[in-house]
Amino acid sequence: MIDLFDLTPSCDLQVLTKQIASTEPLITQEVFPQVTEILEKLQKKLKEPVKTKFYLFKTLQTHILPLTNVCFDKSGKKCITGSYDRTCRIWNVESGDEEKVLKGHENVVFSVSYNYPRCDRILTGSFDKTAKIWNPVSGNCINTLWGHTAEIVGAEFNPHQCELLATCSMDNTARVFHSETGQEVNLFSDHSAEVISARFNKDGNLLLTASFDETATVWDMRTKEHAIVIRGHEAELSNAVWNFQCNLVATSSLDRTAKIWDLRRLDDAQATASHKDEVLDVAFNCTGTRLATGSADCTAKVWDVTGNFELVTIMAGHSDEVSKVTFSPPGGLLLTASADKTARIWNSATGTCTQTLSGHDGEVFSCSFNYSGDAIITASKDNTCKIWR
């Protein structure tokens, strides 16, 4: 597998082909034209869609209580929603029809996710202290995962070993389960406060957790012990994420900062991003060269992670806290969700707001691009989510 971190919308493809060939013996002079042709197709995908405006396509409204989280499948043709009404619902994005209602939890369904890239399983985490695995075609529950003693607030499949999944909970622990047997494989219990996120690295052999105990921890799935404890924040963490190469970790905190950590040098944070109020979310772009932060100070910021970690731009325009930030797949756009009942689309290089997605009657707390970047989903406390295309 070849990682194309130097592929950009404007790079010289002939030069890049030669760089790849210098490190890959199988790429010889004879196949240069084919390699360049493949790179050209990939380069086109990096460019933002010609379409500059998104229009409201469908409003999905059958939940009877506020939503909690939303998620596209890889094709972008289906999405799932979790809700305080104790259900997860599967939607057809093309028609806006509700296809399945996943019932069985006895409290709020807070976390929803697919097993990418296959997307033939759905994982839900609930305040009823259980996680459930579902078949999205039949809508049947395949397995219920027990063990947590408080609300589950995060759950995701291992990207490399889809039979494994991780959950995190307000009981101060993260746990790893086998999806087929339902057996608990690992219990990570070194945090001293609630664990609010758990994310695998791309190889699936490390698990990153963030906690209200002001630390993040990297756990080794093989030794079942913590490999690294990340300390330096002065208040609860709100998120922790990997960059694509998984050599950097970004953490956001209620201490008004986000920090970037190089896992090879943990004496101190590699860089600190500051806001005037709590930092509620953090996200890398697809290549890991840019970092976005969203804050209760009503702004989002984009930072250049390469070099000296410089502020690229400030997105100012929301009238209430920004609780979610996410880049478009190519990285040229930043999508933000806010308590001011709107989501906004920004040029991630200039900070210009290109569009305001309005129409919700309550706080917008979750938003996402689909895999190809030509559709957006927003979820609100008004019990609805909206598809924009």
Query: Which residues are within 8 A (CB) of 131 and not within 5 positions of it... i.e. 6 or more apart?
Result: 111, 123, 124, 125, 144, 145, 152, 155, 165, 167, 177
Is the previous residue joined to 66 through a cis bond, with omega within 30 degrees of 0? no
Sheet strand arrangement including 206-211: 195-200, 206-211, 216-220, 225-230
pLDDT of res. 308: 86
- The candidate with the shortest Cα–Cα distance to 78, out of 59, 55, 95, 64, is 95
Contact 338, 326 (CB under 8 A): no
Residues 6+ away with beta carbon under 8 Å from 263: 218, 228, 247, 248, 249
pLDDT tens by residue, the chain, 389 residues? 666 767 777 788 888 788 887 888 778 887 878 878 888 877 776 665 545 699 999 999 989 999 999 999 999 999 999 999 999 999 999 898 999 999 999 999 999 999 999 999 999 999 999 999 999 999 999 999 999 999 999 999 999 998 999 999 999 999 999 999 999 999 999 999 999 999 999 999 999 999 999 999 999 998 888 889 999 999 999 999 999 999 999 999 999 999 999 998 877 788 999 999 999 999 999 989 999 999 999 999 999 998 889 999 999 999 999 999 999 998 999 999 999 999 999 999 999 999 999 999 999 999 999 988 989 999 999 999 999 99
- The answer to whether the beta carbons of residues 196 and 183 sit under 8 Å apart is no
SS (H, E, C) 188-251: ECCCCCCEEEEEECCCCCEEEEEECCCCEEEEECCCCEEEEEECCCCCCEEEEEECCCCCEEEE
Report the alpha-carbon distance of residue 41 to residue 34 in Å, rounded.
11
Structure tokens at 154: 């995060």
CA–chain centroid gap for 167, Å, is: 15
pLDDT of residue 368: 95
- Judging by beta carbons within 10 Å of its beta carbon (0-12, 13-18, 19+), is residue 235 exposed, middle or buried? middle
Token duo for residue 34: 């084919």
**DSSP label at 353?**
E
